[in-house]
Structure 1
Amino acid sequence: MSFCSPRVTLILALGLASTACSSALEEPPDEIGETRDAIQDGYLDSGDRAVVGIYNAEIGAICTGSLIAPNVVLTARHCVSDMANELDGQITCRSTTFTDTHLARRIFATTDAEIGTSARYYGGSELVLLPGSGADRFCGNDQAILILDELVPESEAVPLVPRVDVPLAKGEEYYAVGFGATNDMSTGAGLRRRRDNLFIDCVSDGCPASVVKPTEWVGDTGICEGDSGGPSLDLMHRVIGVTSRGAERCEYPIYGYVYGWAEWIKEATLHAARLGGYEAPRWASGFPTDPVYSAEVGAACTQPEQCLTNACLDGYCTRPCSEVATCPSGYSCNEEPGFCAKLPEPPLEDDGADEDDAWSGSCSIHSRPDPTKPVPWLLGAAGLGAVAGLRRRRRERLG
């Protein structure tokens, strides 16, 4: 079985680059760039099992992908489709398009650290492509989703979370993972590698329009053949990009912008969950992707730094909340400052003769309450003052 990587080149019209990006784009080594289907100068990575290796048996090529749900792999469109309108074997944003899409059942994914004959593979069942009349243009649309024909158990690989709710910023740090080569000679392809301490060069409209589309961004370095479709991840381990193309010598990587195609990713994931018969990940329905919104609350604290969320409220660790990111039982989301606050304990009831006497006295203005006929609880002026005081103390104590 051959595991060769397809190599396609891309004309980068860098002479038209605007000054909005750094010198990495303004002063390229030459005018020719490439979409290289490994992480150059990276290290072997056996831990990031949700970064999967992809083998396309239809064309005998390898790529990389991100497992973002038990049966959902986010990858690059050019890993699963043919292309047309190339110029002397090179791709140009002005004319290169996607054509025929390969058979999903001929595309396989593995969570193992090496793509080879001994790896355990999951077959594809469906390919989901980007919508729209212009989605066949290569630049700006180089993303695809492979739905697997069986679920990857969480004991094998915990799915990654795509950052679909927070945009990127120039200079933000990230890391990249892929199964590609380590140089232009395709050496070392087929092993999962990772490279850290990378930084975003420019994002979307902040990049030269002749090279980068609004649904793309430019990274740092180190992307080679076989890394196509693989993820770039932020420091919270959320997928922020899909490797699309880059320049020679594994430089100037251009990524598909996960945030730019957020709704498509969420809709495809909800569809895959229905097919797989499991509960869809919460982020697909609008839950924040920041893990702080899922942190446990209630541990004792005196300082914010004692909590994973860096939030200590009235002596216990808490977390931020919203209408979507609700609080656990026993807590409510206070409007200000927007953190989970403990609900007050219900008043204790006395069991004794004094209580009976209090309610049976002939001169009492009270009557015994009927538990089958509840009445609304009203908060008087004194109670409102106490709540205001609590809110002030919470704001003072919240880190």
Structure 2
Amino acid sequence: MTPKTLAIALLISPILAACGGADDDPEQWSAATQPIVGGEVDDQTTGAVGLALNVLDLFFFGHCSGSLIAPNVVLTAQHCVSLTDGESPSGGVICGETDFGMTAAGAAMRVTVEPVRPEADGPEFYKGTGQVRPAPGTDNLCGYDVALIILEGQGIGATKATPLVPRLEGPPAIGDTYVAIGYGNTDPEGGGSGTRMRIDGNTVTCTGLQCPLGSSIAASEWRGDAPTCSGDSGGPAIDAEGRVMGALSRGPSGCTSSIYGDVSAWKDFIIETTLEAAELGDIDPPYWAITGSSVPPPAASPGEDCIGLCTEGHVCARSLGKRICVPSCDEENPSCPSGQSCDLHAGGCVQPPPVPAVEDDSGCTASPTPSSGNGSAWLASLLALLSLRYRRRDHFISRPCRRACGRGSGPRRSLRNRVQW
């Protein structure tokens, strides 16, 4: 191992160490280490995703889980994207002492919808961007263990995955049931990670400040009895209506229960980031980011304007500059009505935009359709297009980040936090 490789390994070791178990003290909670024990393989919930890190192509490893809540936005735990300080000697979380440090470069993040997470980087993974958004507020882990990853471009298409809807209306109540999903270990002693597992019929046991004194649960968190384990961190808790109501934060040694970050507590942060991601990716935001409600609007009929659901056999997609209900299609069934083509990212049949006419120097419109005996018009059109192309280059603008591009961008208290991934 070269000194450079060793230095990088030492830098990422705090994240790996966080994946270890906590000691037997009930006040010690293990972060970044939450597999589903006693669950079953889930090859259907494509919105529950596996996370991995690619560190300068020198190290690649799967480490966490997450929820795809928009085509290019993933909800996960902040400790899956940031280093931590102030743990117990065994690596457990101590509320009030364990803090977040440097945030990893978003370009190192990888996301897969495959039920078995590949062990090497490749086309099955979607890349993150420089946009990794930790929950705003303090650096405390307890109560702030939530983060969003913005993916490259338009993200993951509708034919590859169905995003999950975040529950925005409020926290769960004691006794509510939920499904826990993650890519973590299936054995409390270690091993079996990398496969998407689920366990149904879990119950919320306490919420926020209603939890017993000394239970190390913040106001924006809740506790459940799902037997999650190492590697499930960041994975979703899905309520009875199919909405994500929690992002897994931590749990005790033995994988007997779980503490989740309450999704509804971060409603404004989630909506704001999702709207920005839609603008960055030039895609339409999900309906809940527009309405501010997890409750879907009434299903629209074919050809009608839409922001969410459509009647059976149709999807809401952008066609000719507006969102309307169009026939659905996919790679296996790409056929569309005459004059339409299958947009695999949207999963629907759309009309291609009309080819714009181009004016020559005399002000006359030149048609893109070949005409007989008029080569000069074609030459004028070609020169005009080339001119437009080079003028566009002059107007290429680089946007700065609206916020700090990761918590490592400013001065930190330790040498480690001045190193950039």
TM-score of the aligned structures, taking structure 2 as reference length: 0.62
Paired amino acid for 1:49: T
* Cα 1:10/1:207, change in 2 over 3 Å: farther
2:70 match: 69
1:187 aligns with 2:183: no
1:221 aligns with 2:226: yes
* Cα 1:11/1:267, change in 2 over 3 Å: farther
Instruction: Indicate which of 41, 44, 48 corresponds to 1:44.
Output: 41
Paired amino acid for 1:105: A
Q: Quick one: distance in 2 between partners of 1:47 and 1:172? A: 23
Q: Quick one: distance in 1 between partners of 2:282 and 2:81? A: 25
Larger Rg computed on CA atoms = 1
- Does the 8 A contact of 2:50 with 2:62 survive in 1? no
Superposed CA deviations along residues 178-207 of structure 1, whole A, max 9, x for unmatched, are 000012222210000010011111111211
Q: Secondary structure at the match of 1:177?
A: strand
Instruction: Indicate which of 97, 102, 105 corresponds to 2:104.
Output: 102
Q: Quick one: distance in 1 between partners of 2:17 and 2:46? A: 21
Q: Following TM superposition, by how much is the alpha carbon of 1:285 offset from its aligned partner in structure 2, in angstroms?
A: 2.6
Q: Quick one: distance in 2 between partners of 1:146 and 1:209? A: 33
Instruction: Indicate which of 264, 272, 280 corresponds to 2:269.
Output: 264
- Does the 8 A contact of 2:235 with 2:248 survive in 1? yes
Superposed CA deviations along residues 359-385 of structure 1, whole A, max 9, x for unmatched, are xxxxxxxxxxxxxxxxxxxxxxxxxxx
| RMSD (CA atoms) | 2.4
Paired amino acid for 1:205: L
Identity, % of aligned pairs? 36
- Does the 8 A contact of 1:8 with 1:34 survive in 2? yes
- Does the 8 A contact of 1:65 with 1:231 survive in 2? yes
Paired amino acid for 1:131: P
1:167 match: 171
2:30 match: 34
Instruction: Indicate which of 145, 149, 153 corresponds to 1:146.
Output: 149
- Does the 8 A contact of 1:227 with 1:243 survive in 2? yes
Q: Quick one: distance in 2 between partners of 1:261 and 1:252? A: 23
Instruction: Indicate which of 86, 90, 93 corresponds to 2:92.
Output: 90
- 1:1-399 equivalences in 2 (<5 Å): 6-9=18-21, 30=26, 32-35=28-31, 36-58=33-55, 60-88=61-89, 89-116=91-118, 117=120, 120-125=124-129, 126-132=131-137, 134=138, 136-150=139-153, 151-208=155-212, 210=214, 211-291=216-296, 293-295=297-299
Q: Quick one: distance in 2 between partners of 1:197 and 1:119? A: 35
Q: Quick one: distance in 2 between partners of 1:11 and 1:266? A: 37
Q: Following TM superposition, by how much is the alpha carbon of 1:85 offset from its aligned partner in structure 2, in angstroms?
A: 1.4
Q: Quick one: distance in 1 between partners of 2:71 and 2:189? A: 34
Q: Following TM superposition, by how much is the alpha carbon of 1:5 offset from its aligned partner in structure 2, in angstroms?
A: 8.3
Q: Quick one: distance in 2 between partners of 1:245 and 1:174? A: 17
- Does the 8 A contact of 1:201 with 1:220 survive in 2? yes
Aligned residues: 278
Q: Quick one: distance in 1 between partners of 2:176 and 2:164? A: 19
Q: Quick one: distance in 1 between partners of 2:204 and 2:21? A: 22
* Cα 1:46/1:33, change in 2 over 3 Å: same
Q: Secondary structure at the match of 1:94?
A: coil
Higher deviation after alignment, 266-275 or 159-168: 159-168
Superposed CA deviations along residues 213-272 of structure 1, whole A, max 9, x for unmatched, are 011000112100110000000011100000000011211200000011111111111111
Q: Quick one: distance in 1 between partners of 2:126 and 2:196? A: 17
Paired amino acid for 2:222: W
- Does the 8 A contact of 1:37 with 1:62 survive in 2? no
Q: Quick one: distance in 2 between partners of 1:144 and 1:288? A: 20
- Does the 8 A contact of 1:183 with 1:249 survive in 2? no
Paired amino acid for 1:113: P
Where structure 2 has 5 or more consecutive residues not aligned to the other structure, the ranges are 1-8, 10-15, 302-324, 326-421
- Does the 8 A contact of 2:28 with 2:93 survive in 1? no
Paired amino acid for 2:76: T
Q: Quick one: distance in 2 between partners of 1:45 and 1:103? A: 30
Q: Following TM superposition, by how much is the alpha carbon of 1:94 offset from its aligned partner in structure 2, in angstroms?
A: 2.1
- Does the 8 A contact of 1:38 with 1:179 survive in 2? yes
Q: Following TM superposition, by how much is the alpha carbon of 1:290 offset from its aligned partner in structure 2, in angstroms?
A: 2.7
Q: Quick one: distance in 2 between partners of 1:100 and 1:41? A: 34
Paired amino acid for 2:19: R
- Does the 8 A contact of 2:23 with 2:253 survive in 1? no
* Cα 1:167/1:294, change in 2 over 3 Å: farther
Superposed CA deviations along residues 313-353 of structure 1, whole A, max 9, x for unmatched, are xxxxxxxxxxxxxxx9xxxxxxxxxxxxxxxxxxxxxxxxx
